[in-house]
Structure 1
Amino acid sequence: MGVQVKKGRRDRNVRKRATVYTSSYRGGASWFVLELAAGMAAAGGDVLLISPRADPEEREALVTGIRRIELPRGAYGEGSKLVRLSRTLMRILSTFVAYARARGHGRSYVISFYDWLIVLVLQMLWIRLLGGHIVYVVHDARPHAWASPGARRRLESWLLKASYYLPQQLVTLTEVAREQVINEFGRRGPISVIPHGAYSSSEIPSASGKRNLLAFGMLRRNKRILETIEGMRVAVADGARATLTIAGGPHKEDVDYWTECETRLLGTEGYIHTEIEFIPEARLDQLLAKCDALILPYEEFSSQSGVAVLAACSGRLLVCTEAGGLGELIANGLEAVVIERPVTAETVADAIRRFDALPIEQVQAKAERSKAALDHYFSWVRIGGEYLKLCRRA
């Protein structure tokens, strides 16, 4: 006779199983999913990861020992437009096959980031047909910029709404985003709020006291880069000693915004420096080590900022608004130099002047107290446990 497994124990093991998916392989999107999968596994979950291999390769260490269905990376890399499109189509098709294979692992699918909305909706329908339970992580309730113009935007809006109706469970990173999904899109099903975890990073030295500010990440309108440039100009004219580095790539749906920002840089060469490109992890560590604080004058923002979480948990002061998840960070112990809203050149300049007036000892003390307050809140193991609870409801 074979060994009999008690039904209750078998059911408990099944409820610990989860499939975690992303199409992303680099940047904060990929990093988020790898940390989440690792956190869920560390919290006791039996995790199957569906994703491309990460770039940089070193991040693969996060998911060592986790079962994997590896996807092709898609459009990025060398080759003609046709070759890159073929790669993307291959990844999309292979994802449908991977979802079917993963159904034998368990019912729960945790989905974060996607190629295109129409593909996401088709994938969700496919999972529902397979009898799966979808936990969808909503990073931004409303897109920073719509991908389609005119009449096609109505289709895009409908697809976005469908992506909020098809999952049995939604997760937002902030309470503000949760309310937005309910009020603007009419979602009536379960929505949980689970914060963005803290990315693991290299040891960052103490702030140098050179008054270096860093604006980092995707250069979108709601990050108010234009007002930051003008605010620096005003603050320096008033005698502030601060300098600013702007690092990151333009948002692909609104590349004209950075072109507009560039026109305002004339005459700021002595105190504003730019690196307008994708910033790899090693360079990000260098930028964090060089700066004394990060500046985030965000508006029209309902999500959590991975940049803010990384900075705070790396021991860097934040000069920021209280928009979206930034306000929730402050409520949970972040000591920031607050930028008043609505964001203008003058409100940014005022915050820069207040930052500039702080003795470096106070800058470092605020950063250290913030890190201590937020470390547990942003533990990936704790966060992974919260996702497992949602998966066990399937």
Structure 2
Amino acid sequence: MAIFKRKSKTGSFDALQLISNLNTFYTPFGNNISNSDVVKICIDRVASQCAKLKPRFIKTENDKTVTEKKGRLSFLLKYKPNEIMTPYDFIYKTITLLLLNDNAFIYPKFDKQTGGLKGVYPLRPVTVEMIVDTSDAYFIKFLFDNGESYTLPYDNIIHLRRHYGQNDIFGGTGSSGDHEAILKTISINDSLLQGIDNAIKSSMQIRGIIKMNGMLSEVDKKKQRELFDAALSESMNVKGSSIIPIDLKSEYIPLNVDPKLIEKETLEFLQSKILDYFGVSVPIFTSKYTEEEFNSFYESTIEPLAIQLSEAFSLGLLTDNQIERGEEIIFFSERLQYASWNTKVTAIEKLMSLGIMSLNESRALLGLEPIEGGNKRLQSLNFVDADKANQYQVGTEESKDENNS
């Protein structure tokens, strides 16, 4: 981890059993929830939408954005978080690690000479340990899969948490997350899917007994078995058929197999429990959602993550003085809004008339390129300051009193 350079069967039988050699057993799912395709798709749905967020380093004053800050931090957030990641890659991986582990750790790398920020890196440690020294200072110890270990001041790390409540420091029940709640459901779902797979294979197997009408020596039975296997193999693999002729000395007795499939409702119920765990609805999971369904997904799942990213990055990359001066890092969601064309047009009409949206911002919402001079904000003259509404309509209070006298 070169980025850490700063801060610190025998016997005599008269029958041949013909059962296709197919394994129909269950294998344990394991403890890695990412082995589940449903989990992978859920995480991708959330991470890919979060990756559309636009991190910006801004300065606000009186709850109004004054300007976007320039400099190295702004460049890293907008274009190149580190040497090998785009902003999309960086956010996607960060959210993926958070959903898999209930914790995500990001390491800001600083220049050893100048102290300037060089990049930010999502970490994937094997274990994480919190250490508190005698002066109540917090340190965090990372152990990676290559055996290397690093201990850093906790203040130097950007830490994101999910299901935060049972542990004072980490999300879930510890630094490696807590998947006990969902792992049982995933394991049951996986077992049922294996059952379906085994049922299909079982229904395709040739099961039966060839009864040899006569007394044969062990050598002759073995030879007959080999001849029958060869004939069956040739028929299936060469001629594309599972039918072979037998003479009067043999009798085929079929073994009936009646595999049971799992009900559709049962599978859907188990899958829905996994989807709910990650905050993903069925329409989002299948990518067949309406405007309202996406907006619900955004507000319940994506927006909380955007707020968490904004707060964690502001605290992790800015000094207390910068934050007090109104400087902060915000993960904006303007590229996320999913709406129909009519909804967008209606929003533009209302927002532009209030002077909230510029021409280029309106064009961006419609997926159009910016135009020269498009940063102007237009505002309707049909609006007036509420404090001056009386004067605008009927004149001053004093004038009205005089006319009534």
TM range (shorter): under 0.3
Point out the structure with the larger strand share. 2
TM-score by length of 2: 0.20
TM-score by length of 1: 0.20
Q: Which has the larger radius of gyration?
A: 2
